[in-house]
A and B are shown apart, each in its own frame.
Chain A
C-alpha cells in the first residue's frame, strides 16, 4: 500500500494527500479518530484525493514530543491497521450475521435445539421410574433361588437389612 503523500509540512502543520481508491473514507475516518486526541485534524477533498491537515496539539520536536515525520509514519500505520480491520470485518460479515441472528433467535425462543424438543416422556409423573433407579440394590441383584450366599470375611453374622448400620445394640439382646 502506498504511503501518504506529504503535500506540505510547515511549522509542524502537515498536509497529506490520500488516494480514495487506496484509502476509503471509512479507513481515513478510523485513523483520524485515533489521532483526534493528539492532533487537530481537518479533512478536505481535492479532485479524487482526500487531504488531511494534521496539526499536533503538543509542540513537535526531535528532542521532546513526536516529530512531524513520526506523526506521518504513525498516521500511515494507523491507516493500514484500519484498512486491515475493515477487510477482516468484510470477510467475516456472514459469520458475524449468522452468530448474531442465532443468538437473537435463541433469546426469543424461536429456535429450540432438537434434543430439548423431545416430548416422549410428557405423560410421565414424577413418581414414575421407567429406568428403575428407585429399585433397591438388594432387590435388583437378589440371588434367585433359596441357596444362601457364601459368607466371606466381610459379611456380618446376621443378615443386615436395608438401613442397618451395624452400630451399638441398645436393647441388650446379645447379653
Chain B
C-alpha cells in the first residue's frame, strides 16, 4: 500500500460503483431450489447450492433471460460467447470455497444509463454487467454481536445460489447525489423489466470506489473525462456493505469528507477497503482482503459457454421509465414532476394510463399522482399492495368525473375509508350519505333555514352580509355537507332577495 498526498486546492470527487442486484427468478441460478425468503434457515438447499461433492450446476434459463433484458435496457453488447469462472476464496458463506461468476467474458459489456441530476442529463457508462451466484448469509452470535467480537457464527444457505447481476460502472460520478440518482434510475429500469423486486430484503447491495483528485486534472469541459494517470495516482477506498440509495449517499458523503479532511491536513489517504457501518453512520477500515490474483480465477468446466447474443432480438422489453416520462409529458401534457411521479413504477404508470384513457388526463394525474400515491405513502403502502382493488379506485375517479360526489369527499372520506377499512367506494358513498344532494333537497333546506332563523335573515336584510355565511352553514348541516357551498350561497341570496 502506498500513501498519497495531494496539493491543496480545489478537489474533485471521483466515484465508481459495483451494484449487485438479485434477479427475480423462481429458482436459484444453478439449481431448482426456491429463491423465496423464508424465516426457516437451510430450508431451500440442495447438494448444488450446498457445494456437496459431485453436484452438477445447471444454468437457469430465467436468469439468462433477465440478464439479456438488462443488457438490452442499458444498450450493452451481448457478446457472441460468454462463460463462467470460479472465483476462489475461503469464507463460510461460500460452501464450495469458490463462487461461480463471470470474469473475462461477461454477458453484458459496454452499456450506459442516462440519469437526470438537478435537471441536467448525464450519461453513466456501464463497463460490464455479469451473472453470478449470491453467497449464503452469516449471523455473528454473542460477544456483542459484532463481527470481530462474536463468539461463533451461524450459517444459512437459503440465499446461496440466488442469481445476482453485478453492474459495474465507469468512475463517472462526481458526487454522492449523482450516485443516488443513478441507483434510483437503475432500480426503476430493473423493476420495469420485471427482473427485480426492490421490496425484497437485501435485493440491492453496493460497493463504491471513491477517490479525490485535484480539479486541474480534469482534462476538458466534460466532467466525466478524467485523465487515467490522475486516477491511477490517487489512492481510492472501496466502501462495502451499502444496501440502499440513501445509504449510498450517506456513506459516500462521509467518505468524501473523510478523505478531503485528510488531504487538507496534509495526511495520506490509504488505499484500502472500508466497511459502511449504517448504525454509526461511519466507514471503518477492514482487514485487507485478497488481491485479484489471489482469487485464482479459472474457467468453470461444469458450465459450457453460452451463445445467446441473438436473444437480444428475440426477447422484448417494455417501454423504459425515461421514455415513458417523456411520452407522458407530450401525450398528456403533464409537468415533469407529475410525469416522474406517475412513472416511478411500472404498475403506477400502467394504472395512470388506464385511468387517463377513460377520464380527463389531468383529473387522472391528480388522482393517481397526488391523491392515491399520497394516501398510500402516508400508510407506508405500495400500489402493488392494492393491485386487486385498482378497479375500485377507477370507480372512485368516475364518481368524481361524473359529479356524483365532491372531490373533497372523494379524497378525504371515500379514498381513506377504502384504504383503512376495505370498503368499496359505492359502499362508502351510500353508508356515509355522500352522494351530492339533489337540487330539490337543497332548495328545501334553503327555505327551512330561512324559516328557522329569522334573526339571521333580519341581520342580512339590514345590510350585514356576513349573516349569509351563518345561513349557508345551516343548509350545509341539513344536507350533511353534500351540497356545494357556492351553490347554496347563491340559492339563499336568490330566495332572500325575492
Do A and B associate with each other?
Answer: no
